[in-house]
Structure 1
Amino acid sequence: MTLRSTVATFAGRSSYWFLHTFMKGGSSLPGKITTKIDPEILKHLGQNYDVIVITGTNGKTLTTALTVRVLNQKYDHILTNPTGSNMEQGIVTTFLRAPKVKGARPIAVLEVDEANVIKVTKYIKPKAFVFTNIFRDQMDRYGEIYTTYQKIIDGVALAPEATIIANGDAPIFHSKNLPNPIIYYGFKQQDEKDIKAKPNTDGVLCPNCQHILHYRYLTYSNLGKYFCPNCGFERPELKYAITQISNLTPTSSEFEVDGHAMKIEIGGLYNIYNALAAYAVGRFLGVTPEQIDTAFSEDKKVFGRQEVIDLDGKQVTLILVKNPVGLNQVLDMIATDSKPFSFVGLLNANYADGIDTSWIWDGNFEKLPALNIPAYITGGERYKDITFRLKVAGVPDDKHAVVPELKDVVEKIKTLPTEHVYVLATYTAVLQLRKLLADQGYIKEGMGA
């Protein structure tokens, strides 16, 4: 440990203590201060950990949370970044706040932004990488999906011995030959056909011959059992698979993994992939299916992911949305609700959200008017964009309230005609709303940060 790293660590831990003692938190500033003093501080902070890096477009935060639950069934000391602070400074802060551990080597399960994988692997050699999916997201930061994947594998290239645990249903994860050992997970369905994805779906060209991929079955977007009828490229063999889906509701999912019955207290087909990824990590590290089932049965809410908040009798479900694929999956999920609900859309366009809001036009908001929703609210810093999008989708003006300010949104929610309210919000809007609700005493800010 060098003098520079010692000073940097002291400064970072001191700032973390001050922020969390007097300022109600702060997940990135301590990391910024630390890396300013010592840009290579991760080499020191992470050297004694077995690190699992979880990355991809959608599902990182829930996959990370579920993986931690699973590993807690066997391992005593697990470090993680629970609030989605997944860039370099947030990851540094995660290590700064870690208690000293004696005995067994601790595990760090880290959600890592796709463009920041290389900033981690430059100093830390992970034990495993988990790839959730790659969808079009924040075009201003990432570009197209192939550019995003290249950012990830540029980081993976610095750790060629680490095992990759990848979503086998995503063609992009089978598009390049990597030296790493690879474990694939995905869905196994009995009813097989010969179908294509929808015409506007990204990532459906064969990486070998550029022919349009076909599917034996599709789960959603470009995920499924794909094959190329032109050159024979096809989905790799799955080591872990969803073999049956028993029941889906807005608040729970029942399914089988390789014949083992499982249940998670969160809705949406897309979240079953996240559970399957966590299952695969657990099995990779020696956790039994029975222990994983126990871990999944815990009803712990995850920051901004179907978190339910009691707002003076209104049950407000807060859901992060940030790209068309994720948005459409959320819309499909809330459409399964058998009880009446109101709808709130909050749109920001800061750096962490992606400054380009055009993605909302690829979301299937046209689904909403058919659901007989009695009341809508739109707000956020880009309220004009989301308001116009819902108007074009056919949402009636007499059911639609435009409320730009979040403090006014909170008060308006209290007057909605339904007990249940879904709030779909971009990342910084989630943060702003949660801080407002924490200041008013409705929730605890940070959820474990």
Structure 2
Amino acid sequence: MTLRSELATLAGRSSYWFLHNFMGGGSSLPGKITTAIDPDVLQEIGKNYEVIIVSGTNGKTLTTALVVQVLKEKYDNIVTNKTGSNMVQGITSTFLEAKRPTRGKKGIAVLEVDEANVKPIVEKIKPKMFVLTNIFRDQLDRYGEIYTTYQKILDGIKLAPDAVVLANGDEPIFHSKELPNPQVYYGFSNEPATGDMKAAPNTDGILCPVCQHLLHYHYIVYANLGDYFCPNCGFQRPDLRFKVTDVSERTPKDSKFAIDGNQYEIGVGGTYNIYNALAAYAVGREVGIQPDQIRHAFDNNQRLFGRQEEINVEGKDVSIILVKNPVGTNQVIDLLATEPDSFSFIGLLNAEYADGIDTSWIWDGEFERLPAMDIKQFETGGKRYKDITFRLKVAGVPDDKHTIQPDLGQVIEDIKHMPTQKVYILATYTAMMEMRARLMKQGYIKGGK
């Protein structure tokens, strides 16, 4: 390690210690300080790790957490950015925080990486595996359309041609480019695959990448994910090495399913989270972890901070769920539709840089389904409360059931008086983080990050 890198690392670790002991935390500032002193420091502090990069639009955080849990069945020293700080500075902070590997041995780093940051990360540290979840329209101001987003990831993958690419085979875009890398696919298997259907007209990524004909499907899992084929040129889903073969139960709180004939359960709802578990299973099997060990890992996994988190607020069962784009929102609405009890609904919309400054995506969300559910009260808030309030009004939410509260502190007070035991909060990223910070300050979240 160069003198410059040593000074940068010392400064970063010192700032991390101070922030976490006296300021309540800080996930990216130590990395900012370190990279300001030495822009190449990540190359030095990350070189003693076998790195797995998890990227894609939806599901990165839970997939990363599940992969870590699975790998713990075999490995001891695993480093990960558990708070979801997934750009260069945050990942630098992750290595600064980590316990250094034993001399002569390599640790394992499982890193959630923002799509636009895959290339900058791979320029510094060469991974052994990429795990790709999906590509949907998200933060168009940052990423552009799905093809632009995928190209950002590809630019990084091509810098590590020996790394295995473990990709969602149900996502057509992941089978659209030739790569020098070894490629392995996972997905849902619904045998026999004899159907012939089309995705909804406004669905992302449903044109054949070879001939631009409209893709058809033997079956659709959700959005554009499924067993696709092109009736014009023969392009089709690749062979899957790892498969969800059955889904036996879905509730807002858990999912039961089979992968390659093995039964599993995770303590989180939603079909999209079954994909995340499948990706973690695939990583585990690729490195030799057995199905029973993976079941043990899933059984030990706790619901992940901020993405689908349960909090007790004065006796109310409050679930905070991150939403950030139409596909993810629609999947959460699917999840709410499985709730057997009446509940209250809170929608919190911000438009900061980390959320994406364009809120037009809410018009592609299927909010029209909400009035038909057993929802006793609606509330909308956040910095863009006017946008989400109007969206729900257009969706048919009745005025007499709908309150408006821009102040998130007051939202917490309102929760205490809502007419139902269960309360679901759908929040964009910065609104979620602010809500968590307020709940932590009031003691409703213990030992938070």
When the two structures are superposed, what TM-score results if normalisation uses the length of structure 2? 0.99
C-alpha contact (below 8 Å) 1:191/1:217 kept by paired residues = no
Percent identity of paired positions between Structure 1 and Structure 2: 65
For 1:403 and 1:220, how far apart are their aligned partners in 2? 33
Q: 2:264 corresponds to which letter in structure 1?
A: M
Q: Which residue of 2 is the match for residue 188 of structure 1?
A: 189
Q: 2:252 corresponds to which letter in structure 1?
A: P
C-alpha contact (below 8 Å) 2:250/2:256 kept by paired residues = yes
Matched, 1:19 2:6: no
Q: Which residue of 2 is the match for residue 217 of structure 1?
A: 219
Q: Which residue of 2 is the match for residue 174 of structure 1?
A: 175
For 1:132 and 1:423, how far apart are their aligned partners in 2? 24
Report the secondary structure of 1:82's partner residue.
coil
Report the secondary structure of 1:90's partner residue.
helix
Matches for 1:85-124 after TM superposition, within 5 Å: 85-102=85-102, 104-124=105-125
Report the secondary structure of 1:325's partner residue.
helix
C-alpha contact (below 8 Å) 2:54/2:111 kept by paired residues = yes
For 1:405 and 1:171, how far apart are their aligned partners in 2? 42
Matches for 1:90-169 after TM superposition, within 5 Å: 90-102=90-102, 104-169=105-170
Which whole-Å deviations, capped at 9, do the CAs of 1:338-380 have from their partners, x for residues lacking one? 0111000000000000000000000000000000311011000
Q: 2:182 corresponds to which letter in structure 1?
A: P
Matches for 1:380-419 after TM superposition, within 5 Å: 380-419=382-421
Which whole-Å deviations, capped at 9, do the CAs of 1:60-109 have from their partners, x for residues lacking one? 00000000000001101100011110011000000000012216421000
C-alpha contact (below 8 Å) 1:434/1:445 kept by paired residues = no
Q: Which residue of 2 is the match for residue 53 of structure 1?
A: 53
Structure 2 gaps of 5+ residues are none
Number of equivalenced pairs? 447
Matches for 1:275-290 after TM superposition, within 5 Å: 275-290=277-292
Q: 1:155 corresponds to which letter in structure 2?
A: G
For 1:343 and 1:241, how far apart are their aligned partners in 2? 34
C-alpha contact (below 8 Å) 2:28/2:93 kept by paired residues = yes
Shift of 1:444: 3.0
When the two structures are superposed, what TM-score results if normalisation uses the length of structure 1? 0.99
C-alpha contact (below 8 Å) 1:83/1:446 kept by paired residues = no
For 2:60 and 2:331, how far apart are their aligned partners in 1? 15
Matched, 1:431 2:445: no
Q: Which residue of 2 is the match for residue 340 of structure 1?
A: 342
Q: 1:228 corresponds to which letter in structure 2?
A: C
Moved more, 280-289 or 298-307: 298-307
Report the secondary structure of 1:27's partner residue.
coil
Matched, 1:229 2:255: no
C-alpha contact (below 8 Å) 1:137/1:323 kept by paired residues = yes
Q: 1:6 corresponds to which letter in structure 2?
A: E
For 1:205 and 1:141, how far apart are their aligned partners in 2? 23
Q: Which residue of 1 is the match for residue 268 of structure 2?
A: 266
Report the secondary structure of 1:374's partner residue.
strand
1:441 corresponds, among 415, 440, 443, to 443
C-alpha contact (below 8 Å) 2:48/2:101 kept by paired residues = no
Report the secondary structure of 2:66's partner residue.
helix
Q: Which residue of 2 is the match for residue 353 of structure 1?
A: 355
Matches for 1:360-379 after TM superposition, within 5 Å: 360-379=362-381
CA RMSD of aligned residues (A): 0.8
Report the secondary structure of 1:146's partner residue.
helix
C-alpha contact (below 8 Å) 1:249/1:267 kept by paired residues = yes
Structure 1 gaps of 5+ residues are none
Report the secondary structure of 2:213's partner residue.
coil
Q: 1:179 corresponds to which letter in structure 2?
A: P
Which whole-Å deviations, capped at 9, do the CAs of 1:151-198 have from their partners, x for residues lacking one? 000011110100000000000000000000001000000253000000
C-alpha contact (below 8 Å) 2:227/2:237 kept by paired residues = yes
Q: 1:70 corresponds to which letter in structure 2?
A: V
Shift of 1:301: 1.9
Report the secondary structure of 2:435's partner residue.
helix
Q: 1:93 corresponds to which letter in structure 2?
A: S
Q: 1:190 corresponds to which letter in structure 2?
A: E
Report the secondary structure of 1:166's partner residue.
strand
Report the secondary structure of 1:208's partner residue.
coil
C-alpha contact (below 8 Å) 1:206/1:228 kept by paired residues = yes
Shift of 1:43: 0.4
For 2:219 and 2:303, how far apart are their aligned partners in 1? 31
Shift of 1:297: 1.0
C-alpha contact (below 8 Å) 2:341/2:374 kept by paired residues = no
Report the secondary structure of 1:429's partner residue.
helix
